[in-house]
Chain A
């Protein structure tokens, strides 16, 4: 069961994307690009790319807003410095190999725990879990609202 408002993920991502200078604004991904991203993610990390991530991609290939990074799946142009797969390989090496990394907000990482199958908010230092979510959709709605700074009804 989910309690998030329909379309809320897309609305936040659109607001955040529109706020970037025109030359830094990521483009939406078409269906073929998203299918390719799903395949690449599965091949590189052995797990399905969550649907909520794909909903972000439909609006923009990556989000950079107020310390929030949702990594792009195509090339990595400014303001991004890594793609989703690159960020996961990096964070799995230098942080914890048991997570899938779906977003970073300042020092908060939003992850999928491959051992417990939970969606979690953790912090870099000491890895304390400070929030758990019922679904990928709930986690994305939460982190987008947190970065945006106000609740969209």
Chain B
């Protein structure tokens, strides 16, 4: 009979992380150790807080993960963290984006402010007129698309996402915007454990660097869209742990 351990406390997880990382993943794979994803990620990031290369290496590994997927002939997808479990966002790509954090904070604030006052409404009206079939195929109703075209407002349960963030070279241009369902899909592409965003957060204003960002399907105006198999799929947490170290 083999013993299974369930480390839950910060101290127990910190002790666990003293095991060489690959060997530890092996124990998890063989279910000799079971960890909660949120507790494990928190402990791992704490353990690595003084490792200057940790975030950059996670970016590289995420990029390689995506390239390997393409090389194997798999359809495009991005792997993302969520505390309820790892997801594959089908249809997403992971791209190496040359990121410059806007030094001009007044420009950033102006763009942020203009987004809601003018840009967003105009984009939503336009999309409702030009992409009606796509919006319906993603699950919106006729009345919702009519309301979008009339009022220029996002439908219930959706948010407008900037593909390349506004804080970077991202702009309010129409091709930088997409409707995302206000659920795990949108929550998971942002956040603390996303290697690209982690990297951005550590950058000074005006600084630049290359980051691996999950980007929605290029020609889509809405995500998810089951009619194109662009949906979030649950994956084992190990798939994500592999990327971090």
Contact = CB atoms under 8 A, between A and B. Distances in A.
Contacts of B183: 81
A125 B120 contact: no
A24 B143 CA distance: 14
B83 A93 contact: yes
A130 B112 contact: yes
Interface residues of A, number: 33
Contacts of B197: 124-126
A20 B156 contact: yes
Contacts, number: 107
B108 A104 contact: no
Contact of B167 (A96, A125, A147): A125
Contacts of B191: 94-95, 124
B190 A67 contact: no
A127 B201 contact: yes
A80 B193 CA distance: 24
Given A90-B187, A94-B82, A130 B192 contact: no
A64 interface: yes
Contacts of B159: 67, 69, 104-107
Given A93-B38, A107-B162, A149-B153, A128 B108 contact: yes
**Chain B interface bracket (under 10, 10 to 19, 20 to 34, 35 or more):** 35 or more
A114 interface: no
Contact of B192 (A24, A69, A95, A106): A95
Given A94-B193, A95-B191, A126-B201, A79 B167 contact: no
24 contacts: A21-B143, A21-B156, A65-B153, A66-B154, A67-B153, A81-B183, A90-B83, A93-B83, A94-B187, A94-B188, A94-B192, A95-B191, A107-B160, A107-B190, A123-B166, A125-B165, A125-B166, A125-B167, A125-B168, A127-B201, A128-B108, A128-B167, A130-B108, A130-B109
Interface of B: 38, 42, 81-83, 101, 105, 108-109, 112-113, 115-117, 120-121, 143, 152-154, 156-162, 165-168, 182-183, 187-188, 190-193, 197, 200-201, 203
